[in-house]
Structure 1
Amino acid sequence: MRNTSALIVGAQFGDEGKGKIVDSLVQDEDFDCVVRYNGGNNAGHTIVSDGQTYPLHLIPSGILHPHVTNVIGAGVVVDPAGLVQELATLTERGVDCKNLFISDRAHLVMPWHKVIDAHLGGKIGTTARGIGPCYEDRASRRGLRVGELVDENNTVDKEHFGARFREVGAHKNELIQKLYGLEPLDLEKELAEIFHLAETFKDRVCDTSELLYQIKTEGKRVLFEGAQGCLLDLDWGSYPYVTSSTVTFSGCLSGSGSAHIPERRIGIVKAYSTRVGEGPYLGELGDYETIKVQDVAKKGEPLPPLSDDEKQKALNGDDLLMGRWIRRAGREYGTTTGRPRRCGWLDLVAVKHAVQVSGLTEVALTKLDILVDIPKIKLITAYKDGDKTLTTFPSRINQLARCQPVYEDFEGFGEVKNAKSFPELPRAAQNFIRRIESYLGIPARIISVGPERSHHLVQEETHVAG
């Protein structure tokens, strides 16, 4: 498995634990570079190292390793304020971020993008961080890029960027006022703030495509890190309840500016499933509208585990309580938004769709430990649409919404955190994993059994070729 490059992509709806796997691979397999190729600071990757938790949003997950080059590619949209805040937080905690580079071709999230997103984005459950409107402007050729803010000499280009900002901003203010009935932005105030922020990251801006070419020419190993998940991909996800970027393998090439095809393509799969925001979600445990009201966690106040009585009700068929059991055990609240995630059983139909559209060669199974001590667990292996049985993920959102999941039941299992190899896992856990592998047709080479960097095991040999 000592290939020269690898792709990490979420094979569900995001929040699969990609950050931990990237961090572990960088440490265990000596990758020299990590490239983030899509999304913005609507993404959230969490790394736990030496008992410390590092939530990342824009910055690649290799940043904790000083010898690793970290690249924000052209396919990412960069919020200047979010980037500077993330840099400051990491620096305060002793992380030297001098190994970070930002593509001059990446687009900038502007103040009007956030205003418009907050006003319009609620219907599909966006994070209101301006990501969708920024990608819209990129596609319609009205966007502003990092290379316009910071010139080829790594100087803040106040003349050029100021003129472009005022031109586009005047049009956006007219839209904000006349179409949406909102207060206009103070453009000069916003512009001054952006110039101030740019002074923090100007020296990190470069032609990252050229940088990656040189890295590959030197024979160094590159890890491509995707944000969100394949089921949120603009083309191949549950449209229109999707993100605004290309999440899948094809996005890795266009978003990084590297034509090198990663030999290992690893899909990150949680042992159950979660989703944030609106849209059909097969296997969901509990009503989402109820969850949004009853399962909100106050900042800094962890929710208690379920009582024995609540657990018994969950086992007797109370889906809301079963979802709450998994949510609290897995701390399933958005890294970026803090919203309670919708929880459900692992949907293998959807994951196989991700395997196919990204050409995945293996999966990394995460959060197996969250299912510990649940006596009966389930996998979705087909959908029922009336009297039809489906084993492929529907492209039509109305068809997906009317489908019902077909389950296979599995015996639960006990503690897995101390397992260092596959045979050391409980037999029931082995059976659960083997069924996932046989259904997907690719091996689960990495199995995460706990939150720490060290809590994972690697299968060198499996019964499924990959």
Structure 2
Amino acid sequence: MNHGVTAVVGANWGDEGKGKLTDILAERADYVVRYQGGNNAGHTIINASGKFALHMLPSGVFHPGVVNVIGPGVALNVPGLLQELAALQERGVPEPKLCISDRAQIVLPYHLQFDALEEERLGKHSFGSTKSGIAPFYADKYAKLGVQVADLYHPQRLLARLEASLTAKNVLLEHLYGGQPKLDAAALAEELAAWGKRIRPYVCNTTKLLHEAWRQGRHIVVEGQLGALRDPDHGIYPFSTSSSTLAGFAAVGAGLPPQAIGRIIAVAKAYSSCVGSGPFVTELHGAEAEELRRRGGDAGEYGAKTGRPRRMGWFDAVATRYGVMVQGANEVALSLLDVLGYLEHIPVCVAYDVDGVATTDFPPAPLLDRAKPVYEQLPGWRCDISGVRDFAALPAEAQSYVRFVEEQIGVPVKWIGVGPRRDDMIVR
């Protein structure tokens, strides 16, 4: 019997703890698949080998039997990938089984350059980009100016693809970005061909590979990057990423049939955090924010990719209910519940006040700018729960908090994170 594909996705702004859950599920998986985004975000994993922040590699790389797949929907940063592979080996992690789609497209050096130049040009109106080249990459992809992995092995085609892309870019470099040096297609083609040789052992038809695995009933886990509120169609536009962060896109970005995805786990934090610009209704400031940031996670709430301090807030049931809905989640993982153990009372945002009218619907960006949180106060448990492994053994107040969140979002909370490590998890 085919049990389908499990999708692990974010219910909020990203940084929810998807990497840890994927790492746990990977123990019994045959394949772990990245299906969108690039190395513009990080999945933090803590295990017996130490603490790791993965940006390009799938989160199954710590399990020797797992085949890790980078699907055609991924923005492939080749130098970043090679650096991560080398870093794993330096720390004693066995070389993972890795397959890269021959249809995946490449993040090119000039994508990073244009990302940084545009953020600088926008100044205070910038989007808080990680400057990983993601927006310019996807702009080229959908303008049909991208370079696929397969192109790296056909020199004339590769050169022609680059020449087509650089015509307009050199005009922008000269006239929009203050006389930057022009890009040379031939030199770039040579550099990319060298990248192609380095990754050649991993390149294959991953779509055929995954279809066959699915038909054979193999256990496949697909992991999303960022969260529902960063989706370009359903998130907080334009403060979004450039590829769909939803489980529904996993079929496209991984190359699987839509009906294959039978289990969708949306991950949400027990409080809120956000990296980057845009509306954030429950945002805290000053000492209150700094205290939550300092206590959050293994080493505080700082971006795995950028190191930037995350913006902090209380749990937002309005945003999370919406995120869980658009993900189509049939179960939720609530991470970092232990972090809240210092509080006597815990605020939960149950509605928004928009121009004096209360709503429990998550509005588009223009109304979010004017939204104020409506809080309900829940009693705290005021103790360390990091050693608890059974829901019934949690303090009554912690159980009540989980049940309240579950009631607010309308989807069962099956997983409860009580610490940063792999085994710091309660399964209900």
- Asked if 1:275 is matched to 2:241, the reply is no
- Asked if 1:53 is matched to 2:51, the reply is yes
Quick check: 1:375–1:411 contact (8 Å CA) kept in 2? yes
- Asked if 1:324 is matched to 2:290, the reply is yes
Quick check: 1:72–1:102 contact (8 Å CA) kept in 2? yes
Residue in structure 2 matched with residue 317 of structure 1 by the alignment: none
Residue in structure 2 matched with residue 463 of structure 1 by the alignment: none
User: CA separation in 2, counterparts of 1:167 and 1:137?
Assistant: 11
User: CA separation in 2, counterparts of 1:457 and 1:6?
Assistant: 19
Query: How much does 1:187 deviate?
Result: 4.4
Residue in structure 2 matched with residue 306 of structure 1 by the alignment: none
What pairs up with 1:172-191 in 2 under 5 angstroms?
Answer: 172-181=169-178, 182-191=180-189
- Asked if 1:23 is matched to 2:26, the reply is no
- Asked if 1:444 is matched to 2:413, the reply is yes
User: CA separation in 2, counterparts of 1:230 and 1:9?
Assistant: 8
Residue in structure 2 matched with residue 311 of structure 1 by the alignment: none
Query: How much does 1:35 deviate?
Result: 0.8
Q: Which moved more, 1:123-132 or 1:48-57?
A: 48-57
Query: How much does 1:186 deviate?
Result: 4.7
User: CA separation in 2, counterparts of 1:344 and 1:168?
Assistant: 42
User: CA separation in 1, counterparts of 2:128 and 2:144?
Assistant: 25
Give the direction of change, closer, same or farther, for the CA distance of 1:31–1:340 in structure 2 (3 Å limit): same
Paired residue type of 1:15: D
User: CA separation in 1, counterparts of 2:38 and 2:148?
Assistant: 14
Quick check: 1:73–1:255 contact (8 Å CA) kept in 2? yes
Structure 1, unmatched stretches of 5+, are: 150-155, 287-319, 460-466
Of 392, 407, 412, the match for 2:380: 412
**TM-score normalised by L of structure 1:** 0.86
Residue in structure 1 matched with residue 312 of structure 2 by the alignment: 343
Aligned residues: 416
Quick check: 1:108–1:143 contact (8 Å CA) kept in 2? yes
Query: How much does 1:362 deviate?
Result: 0.9
Q: Residue deviations 1:149-181, cap 9 Å, x none?
A: 1xxxxxx43333233224423442232222222
Residue in structure 1 matched with residue 85 of structure 2 by the alignment: 87
User: CA separation in 2, counterparts of 1:68 and 1:408?
Assistant: 44
Paired residue type of 1:101: C
**TM-score normalised by L of structure 2:** 0.94
Q: Deviation above 4 Å: which 4+ runs of structure 1?
A: 186-189
Query: How much does 1:98 deviate?
Result: 4.3
Residue in structure 2 matched with residue 454 of structure 1 by the alignment: 423
Q: Residue deviations 1:269-316, cap 9 Å, x none?
A: 011111111101011011xxxxxxxxxxxxxxxxxxxxxxxxxxxxxx
Residue in structure 1 matched with residue 145 of structure 2 by the alignment: 142
What pairs up with 1:34-183 in 2 under 5 angstroms?
Answer: 34-50=32-48, 52-121=50-119, 123-149=126-152, 156-181=153-178, 182-183=180-181
- Asked if 1:374 is matched to 2:343, the reply is yes
Quick check: 1:84–1:197 contact (8 Å CA) kept in 2? no
Query: How much does 1:51 deviate?
Result: 6.0
User: CA separation in 2, counterparts of 1:88 and 1:51?
Assistant: 15
Quick check: 1:158–1:195 contact (8 Å CA) kept in 2? yes
Query: How much does 1:190 deviate?
Result: 3.7
> What CA RMSD, in Å, does the superposition of the two structures yield over aligned residues?
1.5
